[in-house]
Amino acid sequence: MVIASPEVFAGNSVLITGGMGFIGSNLAIRLSNLGARVTVVDSMIPDYGGNEFNLQPVAERVKVNYCDVRDESAVNYLVRNQDFVFHLAGQVCHVMSLSNPFPDIDINIRGTAVVMEALRKYNKDAIVVYTGTRGQYGPSVSLPVNEEAPTNPKGIYEISNLTAEKIIRVYNDVHGIRSVLLRLSNIYGPRSQMRHSRFGVLNWFTRLALDNAKIQVFGDGSILRDFVYVDDCVDAILKTSITPEAYGEIFNVGYDVPISFLETVKKVIAAARQGSWEFAEFSPERKAQEPGDFYSDISKIERIAGWRPKIDLDEGLALTVDYYRRHREHYWD
């Protein structure tokens, strides 16, 4: 199988929903540097991670549209003439969904339907990539978790992502809108929101260490996770988007070398050269959603799209710490 080069994006028009957020802004920068004509859409809802500084390196080359993916008129206009649509906008707070499920239902489900219906009406030739979450699986039946594993999510947030994924797959299968469905596992790195702990666990650990604060390790710290540096995540998004064999498929984007939370925290403190840690009991909200050990089987995306993560946790944490040390005034309160 011949895998296309990312240079194919040069001259192509791309739309990124949630493009001022963590992953969206890193994707926008990469695509702009590859020569794509980039438009980002972001509603800039407070605390969701949108940050104008995120696009600073390419601010003169990227078009920005401040609107909500639930705005049908705006989305109908924006999807026209786009070669690629990267749908990253969404409500991403696990804990919030336990107390208020309606933003998840409205933004993640209805917003996705608005995007896909706009494409059906006005641009069926665009290629779509959707970024969901490893939380769609719920508790692991066996490890590592592959794409055939049961999906029994434990929260409305994860259910809304799974529903959005299924909506997009219908438009792929029934209406012929070529789509890739990704399930991301614990992405970390530059340009994340750093103001609260409600999502982005490894980035929040990084903030605590840089504040020389104490990081709480829940339970006995033995729970296993896989963490993916954001540049590797962007590589996965781009490679699958230009691989015809990937269209209509679901892929894990993870790291098949798991690590415990305790060891992860120790690596964060080592990278920051400050901070400390302590054991803590789970809060009721966290305990209700904690799925236990999880790490991804990434053999499918490696086989079909030629993707594997390149940046290990030590290197990724060093890059992350360096970025926030240099730019903390744009991310702290």
Least confident of 25-39, 80-94, 176-190: 80-94
> C-alpha distances in angstroms, 197 versus 15, 203, 286?
29, 9, 12
Whether the predicted pLDDT of 1 surpasses 60: no
Classify residue 261: in a domain, yes or no. Answer: no
Q: Is the pLDDT of residue 5 over 80?
A: no
Going by pLDDT thresholds of 50, 70 and 90, the confidence category of residue 288 is low
Per residue in 83-113, pLDDT tens?
Answer: 999 999 998 776 676 778 898 999 999 999 9
**For the chain, what percent of residues have pLDDT higher than 90?**
88
3, pLDDT greater than 70: no
Domain-located, residue 157: yes
CB neighbours of 103 closer than 8 A, spacing ≥ 6?
91, 96, 97
pLDDT in tens, 124-164: 999 999 999 999 999 999 999 999 999 999 889 999 999 99
> Per the structure block, which two tokens stand in for 188?
């970390």
Say what the pLDDT of residue 283 is.
Answer: 75
How large is the average pLDDT for residues 297-308? 98
pLDDT mean over 280-308 = 88
- pLDDT value of position 2: 47
Beta bridge partners of 129: 86, 180
First to last CA, the chain: 48
Count of structural domains within the chain: 1
Q: Is 191 left (phi over 0), alpha (psi -120 to 50) or beta?
A: left
- Structure tokens that stand for 262 in this block: 């305790």
Structure tokens of 301? Answer: 């995306």
- Does residue 96 lie within any of the structural domains? yes
**Cα–Cα distance, 208 to 278 (Å, whole number):** 12
Query: Where is average pLDDT lowest: 4-8, 220-224, 229-233, 275-279?
Result: 4-8
What percentage of the chain exceeds 70 in pLDDT?
96
- Cα distances from 289 to residues 62, 65, 97, in angstroms, run 38, 35, 10
Work out whether strand 84-87 and strand 63-65 pair parallel, antiparallel, or are unpaired: unpaired
Question: What does the pLDDT read at residue 177?
Answer: 98
pLDDT tier for residue 4 given thresholds of 50, 70 and 90: low
Which of 128, 137, 112 has the alpha carbon at shortest distance from 292? Answer: 137
Residue 151 lies in a domain: yes
Q: Is residue 49 part of a domain?
A: yes
| Rounded Cα distance, 70 and 227, in Å | 31
What mean pLDDT, rounded, does the chain reach?
Answer: 95
CATH of residue 44: 3.40.50.720
Q: In terms of pLDDT, which residue wins out, 92 or 81?
A: 81
Domain that includes residue 112, residue range: 6-188+228-255+295-310
Q: Pairing between strand 250-253 and 179-184?
A: parallel
Q: Strand, coil or helix: what is 211?
A: coil
Whether residue 251 lies inside any domain: the answer is yes
Asked whether residue 221 is assigned to any structural domain, the reply reads no
- Per-residue pLDDT averaged across 211-223, rounded? 96
What is the pLDDT averaged over residues 302-323? 98
Instruction: Return the higher-pLDDT residue of 291 and 121.
Output: 121
220 pLDDT tier (thresholds 50, 70, 90): very high
pLDDT at 284: 75
pLDDT attached to residue 52: 97
Question: Is residue 217 situated within a structural domain?
Answer: no
